[in-house]
Structure 1
């Protein structure tokens, strides 16, 4: 979970650059998208549909396999103009999964409320997915319950409804960039946007080294990774170059189903099984292995373009 809520570390990139290089094999990576149909503030002059179309076009041009988008249905009420994003996603042959109706945090809400939030989303998923497989769930905030009892009960609930869990094993806090980007666009600060771009690429690159290093420490080799992204305006802007970066680093894009067929994800695919570490960090902790510093943006994003 810490991968997406990591603290800034200005010296991390230099430390990672000095670390031994990992082999650039044709490693597997599944890209997934959270918070459909709307994530983050809109920069002036952009729409949710335009943002989604940029993301879809970039994936099509890069010939990516179908990537899951995880839906918070409440956004169709909060921003009705964002609703066509869901049909746009489906028309492109991309699947949808459940991110709960309101992006509810299981760690801070009663289990019964969270379960109701999961089921409230299902009618919308059935509408857009039909007979296709929408029974994948991404826990909001990657929060799977703050006690063993809550976690176990939540898993039993998901197993009873036929869900699989879309675990995350790579991320670089991409969501952090969408709000400052909107501010910088509003101020027409091209120099600040260039700084955002550099920081975004550096964070993505550092996260590759970080996740692969954890996998190597745990298993002596890479596992297939599941990357968490968000459907924000800055992500849409950066995606063509980001996909090129992953290919340059030796990645081959696969579906979520392909990635999670690996043994690491066995208990995520079947939440009826006992709980197991849900991230590489958690697996390291369970094995008593020390964690390296988590990568961060290396830039004060909150202060930019204020």
Structure 2
């Protein structure tokens, strides 16, 4: 009897260790409805959106998308087609959050102007989401800026708490926007193999970044944490996101919601970082814990041919 109990205890401990070691990641997507200088008609924006949603559906991902308010209006009037794209996200089971009206960073404007920008998007989104049976509760900081002075940092906290927003951190930050700009340019070139080359390079780069922050999180917390990834609703991801999600699954990652990821106590870690740069929360926590230069080494670099294409 005691042997059976001992065996059961060993099995339970083993299962708990496996669950604890499960790698998890939440997918968050900024700049909705879409961001692309090429996909610039209602039909093309709908095509881009359908492709993004197709990748997410195939891999059973429940994402959170962050909406820029000014993309929903023109000359003071709402754009029905843009709201139609947001309905597609909601009907597919995804959540939507506030990314401000004009995508202004708090480092560059007053706290009062920032609050007005937050409320500009809030006005366009809250009633719409309520009518669609959804809730507006998450906020994503433009440029990941949280204040370059203590006063602005504290003002931001007060503003978002006042309007009952949950701040959406990012652990896996990256320079995906450079790949997106290169991809847009390549799609308009005569080199038919270039877009595919950029896509494959992008996926490898993103996996390198996931592993980079994975290692840093292990150093900070001595265990895996559920990561939060930042990407954008661009043409590049409409083509390459499926491959990227496949690579994450092959690497052992389970896709979780933002809400689930935020349940981990690591997201209660103190952040005292004040500066101009918008950086990963991993680095914010590391700076707060007084980590030095060696901790930050090994960050993946954007390949030169990608940088050259953005010139």
Provide the TM-score with structure 2 as the length reference: 0.82
Partner of 1:6: none
Structure 2: 5+ residue stretches without partners: 1-19, 274-279
Is contact 2:137-2:165 (8 Å) kept? yes
Number of paired residues?
276
**Partner Cα separation in structure 2 for residue 288 and residue 123 of structure 1:** 40
Aligned pair 1:166/2:171, yes or no?
A: no
Which of structures 1 and 2 has the bigger CA Rg? 2
Any idea what the Cα deviations from partners look like across 1:13-50, whole Å, max 9, x if unmatched? xxxxxxxxxxx953110001100012132258971111
Shift in Å at residue 107 of structure 1? Answer: 0.8
Structure 2 partner of 1:14: none
Residue 305 and residue 99 in structure 1: after superposition, are their counterparts in 2 closer, same or farther (change >3 A)?
A: closer
Please report how far the alpha carbon of residue 276 of structure 1 lies from its aligned counterpart in structure 2 after TM superposition.
Answer: 4.6
Q: Unmatched 5+ residue regions in structure 1?
A: 1-23, 268-273
Aligned partners of 1:87, 1:188: CA distance in 2, in Å?
A: 36
Q: Do residues 294 (structure 1) and 299 (structure 2) align?
A: yes
- Whether the aligned pair in 1 keeps the contact of 2:98 and 2:136 (CA below 8 Å) is yes
Of 35, 38, 45 in structure 1, the residue corresponding to residue 34 of structure 2 is: 38
Across the aligned residues of Structure 1 and Structure 2, the Cα RMSD in angstroms comes to 2.3
Please give the alpha-carbon distance, in whole angstroms, between the structure 1 residues aligned to 2:135 and 2:23: 25
Which digits, 9 at most, give the CA deviation of each residue in 1:44-71, with x for residues without a partner? 897111111111111111112x211100
Secondary structure of the residue aligned to 2:27 is strand
Contact preservation (8 Å) 2:271, 2:284: no
The answer for the alignment partner of 1:147 in structure 2 is: 149
Q: What is the CA-CA distance between 1:250 and the residue it aligns to?
A: 0.7
After TM superposition, the structure 1 = structure 2 runs for residues 1-306 of structure 1, keeping only pairs within 5 Å, are 25-42=21-38, 47-64=44-61, 66-77=62-73, 80=79, 82-130=82-130, 132-266=134-268, 276=272, 279-289=281-291, 290-304=295-309
- 1:242 Cα deviation from its structure 2 partner: 0.7
Higher alpha-carbon deviation: 37-46 or 169-178: 37-46
Greater RCO, 1 or 2 (C-alpha within 8 Å, sep 6+): 1
Q: Secondary structure of the equivalent of 2:309? A: coil
User: Once the two structures are superposed, what CA deviation does each residue of 1:158-196 show, in whole Å capped at 9, x if it has no partner?
Assistant: 111111100000133222222221211111322322321
Q: Distance in 2 between matches of 1:59 and 1:196?
A: 21
**Deviation per residue, 1:96-125 (Å, 9 max, x gap):** 100001111111111111100001111222
Residues 66-94 of structure 1: per-residue CA shift (max 9 Å, x gap): 21110001012369454421121122222
Higher helix share: 2
Change (3 A) 1:33 1:116: same
